[in-house]
Amino acid sequence: MELKFERVSKNYKDKKVLKDISVTMGTGVYGLLGPNGAGKTTMIKMMADVLRPDSGQILYDGRNIRSIGDEYRAKVGYLPQEISFYSNFTGRDYLEYSAALKGMEKSYTKKRIEELAYHVGLQNDLKRQCRAYSGGMQRRLGIAQALLDNPEILILDEPTAGLDPLERVKFRNIISAYSNDRLVLLSTHIVSDIEHIASKIMMMEYGVIRYVNTREEYIKMAKNCVWIVKMSAEKLVKYQNNAVISNVIAKEGVMEVRVIDDEKPFANAVQTAPTLEDAYLYIFNYLPEKARR
């Protein structure tokens, strides 16, 4: 299976939100990372076929998804950034309603709801009203909704917002197990959510996909650019406004600062191996914009 964005653009009034995006995806987990306002949700809505490109096209196995229509949408599971629930709905009502909209058969729906409720840890909560769910529970219910009909293409817009650390790990395991022979696109601000499950990571900014690389390729980009520097708290206060700092640990009154820099920033700086988060900061906060184009 192949899903291809071919020179896709979108404007809101005079603002170019997506600029000539071309990218080809196959099976596997794709991560979509980028700063606020980069255009991630806009791209995702187009892939879910809830928003049309102004120009360009999206092709599923060579056919424009607009001309495939319902048949394409039936292959897609979509978790939007904002989920809305009818306030009197229980978790089960919501999943049954979503299954009916997807045209799922009733006896299969019942079985599938039980299975998914268990997977997302809501098996004891389906009778409760969704409005009484915590933010994390609502997110998990949304994830179950997106997985209902075993979609070939699963599109998740910030699926881990509001999940606690244990729920995040569980979520990652569900997605890893699910992605075999399917396409999963996952947008997030949380680098660690995709670091170990995405086979390819797209980095997006100002409506452009700057890179489509593996985690290892990004880490290579930031090689020799991550340093640990020990300094006093006073020095850190002065230094931090002119530096890209990925982390600070206070140890017995001394600050251990993780600095992103092409050159050794201080004589006592010790080079260390980059993580994907360091690479993200290096690309978006350290490299001058023209170097990313």
Ligand X SMILES: Nc1ncnc2c1ncn2[C@@H]1O[C@H](COP(=O)(O)OP(=O)(O)OP(=O)(O)O)[C@@H](O)[C@H]1O
| Residue with smaller CB distance to ligand X, 17 or 186 | 17
Helical spans, DSSP H, in the chain: 40-47, 65-68, 70-73, 91-101, 106-119, 135-147, 165-178, 191-195, 215-221, 233-239, 276-281, 289-292
- Least distance from C-beta 43 to ligand X, angstroms? 7
Between 12 and 108, CB nearer to ligand X:
12
The per-type count for the chain, helices as H runs and strands as E runs, is 12, 14
The residue type at 39: G
| Cβ-count burial 46-70 (b if 16+ within 10 Å, e if not) | bbbbeeebeebebbbeeeebeebee
Residue number with CB closer to ligand X (148 or 186):
186
- DSSP state letter for 181: T
CB of 95 to ligand X, least distance (A): 26
By CB under 6 A, residue 139 contacts ligand X = no
Q: Which stretch binds ligand X (CB under 6 A): 29-37, 109-117, 220-228, 265-273?
A: 29-37
Selected from 3, 5, 8, 17, the binder of ligand X by CB under 6 A is 17
**In the complex, minimum distance from the CB of residue 9 to ligand X, in angstroms, rounded to a whole number:** 12
Contact between 18 and 9 (Cβ < 8 Å): yes
Q: Which residue matches tokens 């998804």?
A: 65
- State the minimum distance, in angstroms, from the CB of residue 46 to ligand X: 10
Backbone angles phi, psi at 73, to 5 degrees: -60, -30
Report the greatest alpha carbon distance in the chain.
69
How many residues at the interface with ligand X, by CB under 6 A? Answer: 10
Position 86 contacts ligand X (CB under 6 A):
no
Q: 40 or 172, CB closer to ligand X?
A: 40
Closest CB to ligand X among residues 41, 90:
41
- Residue 12 interacting with ligand X (CB under 6 A): yes
Residue with smaller CB distance to ligand X, 12 or 118 = 12
Binding mask 32-71 for ligand X (x = CB under 6 A): --x-xxxxxxx-----------------------------
Q: How far is the CB of 36 from ligand X (least distance, A)?
A: 4
- Angle ∠(192,193,196) on CA atoms, nearest 5: 75
- End-to-end Cα separation, the chain, in angstroms: 29
**Smallest gap from residue 39 Cβ to ligand X (A):** 4
3-state secondary structure of 107: helix
Contact positions vs ligand X (CB under 6 A): 12, 17, 34, 36-42
